[in-house]
Chains A and B, each alone.
Chain A
Amino acid sequence: MTQKLLVVLASLAVAAPAVAATGEHTVKEHVDLTLVKRTGTTKLEHKGRATGTVKGTVTSKITISHSVVMRGTVTISARDGKVRLKVDGRARSIGARSNFNGTATMSGGTGKYAGATGTGTFKGVVNRRTWHVTLDATGSYHY
């Protein structure tokens, strides 16, 4: 009887994280990016770190158009896989520290994030002299 109870408890202990690991997950990220390459006047490549629910290194390729539209891809490389996001943002001011916000959509992933889908929003600040970026993002994803 005791043996049976232990088996049940053990299966519950294993099952619980599995249930938590699938379904809807909310994320909250802080991202810090440094400019690593600039092509022409409008194509920017950044590298940096994400700290938050998903921790890891971040690379981004962004194209600026119409002075205020920022579109591109962001990849977060975490320990348990990679997340690729399409981002679409708008500048809200044009000062030295330009505010922006936008939306992010998961466009693929590897490892734990393979087949995951999700969306989020972000807002941040870009320094127009150095193109250093900090942003905060929130969202959710399924897998």
Chain B
Amino acid sequence: MRLIALVAALMALAVAPAHAADRGAPPPLRFSVALGDGARLGAATSLTIRLAIEPGRPPVDEVRLFTPSGIDLSSSELGMATCRRPALQILSVMNLVDRGPCPGNALMGTGRALAELRFDPEEIFDGAARLSLYSAESVGDKPGLYVIADTTRPVRTQLTYRGYLYVPPPGFGIGMAIQVRPIPQPPFGAPVALSSFRLVVGSADLRYVRTVHGQPASYHPRAIPLPATCPATGFRFRAVVRLGRDPVHPDAPPERLTTDAIVPCPQR
């Protein structure tokens, strides 16, 4: 009996440090969403999406974002124009900077991203970019998107990533997939791995142009309409990040990180 108690105590000790380590370890994926200032149920608002991946993970291959049921782009005015890019630019990912790659009325969101240039495990340089999310030509039979990243360091260049909107799993409003393809010829030959991004979709300073009585007129497009009601637990957004193959363990299957972000209900 005493022996059993001793074994149990030893096992508990052996397990305890692992639990403590888990509690202290940062989550592999951090994700948060915030509604715009003064957001109200039944009215349109912006969404600020923040996502960060734990350093040292294999490079991100794809990011999927799901909005809660009832929050989608059905009656939004975002993406009134369509951005078209040459197929070669999509394939090569990294291109010379084009100052006007897409029509202004196709712009849906802006933000910033940080990435790592991984020369080797000991030599990693940070990179930074400004992000623009555009409505784009269809991808297969789905409404398309482009994320254009204008890098500011370590080199000025333009990265073009393709995405699309699609019907999400049950319980969600709209699915957005962004394919983060590896750069075929990366800067200095170092693979680039996305570290984090902040993207504001439908921000208050977004301006479109339309013709009124023959004259161009600037206006703020209706961003993302919120439903008239909100679940008691708040709005649940989800991020799913698919990582590429780990160069250290190339036989291991690619990892998928999933996490939810709960946004408290705004006032009616």
Q: How far is the CB of B226 from chain A (nearest CB, A)?
A: 10
Q: Does residue A91 face the partner (Cβ distance < 8 Å to B)?
A: yes
Residues of chain B contacted by A94 (CB below 8 angstroms): 73, 78-79, 135, 143, 165
Residue of B nearest to A95 (CB): B82
Residues of A in contact, count (CB < 8 Å): 21
Decide if B47 is an interface residue (CB 8 Å cutoff).
no
Q: What bracket does the count of chain B residues touching chain A fall in? A: 20 to 34
Cα distance A65–B67 when bound, in Å?
A: 12
Complex Cα–Cα for A99 and B144 (A): 12
Interface residues of B in 7-42 (CB under 8 A from A): none
Nearest-CB distance from A99 to chain B (Å)? Answer: 7
Contact A64 B74 (CB under 8 A): yes
Query: How near does chain A come to B164, taking the closest CB pair, in angstroms?
Result: 10
Q: Which residues of A contact B167 (CB under 8 A)?
A: 66, 68-69
B218 proximal to A (CB < 8 A):
no
A residues less than 8 Å from B175 (CB atoms): 66
B48-77 CB mask vs A (1 if < 8 Å, else 0) is: 000000000000000000000000111111
Does residue A110 face the partner (Cβ distance < 8 Å to B)? no
**Residue numbers in A under 8 Å from B141 (CB-CB):** 90, 92, 101
Q: In whole angstroms, what is the CA distance A112 to B113 when docked?
A: 62
Could you list 9 examples of A-B contacts with CB < 8 Å?
A66-B167, A66-B173, A67-B173, A67-B174, A68-B167, A92-B143, A94-B135, A99-B138, A128-B80
Question: 9 shortest A-B CB distances, which residue pairs?
Answer: A41-B75, A67-B72, A67-B73, A95-B82, A96-B80, A94-B143, A64-B74, A67-B174, A94-B79
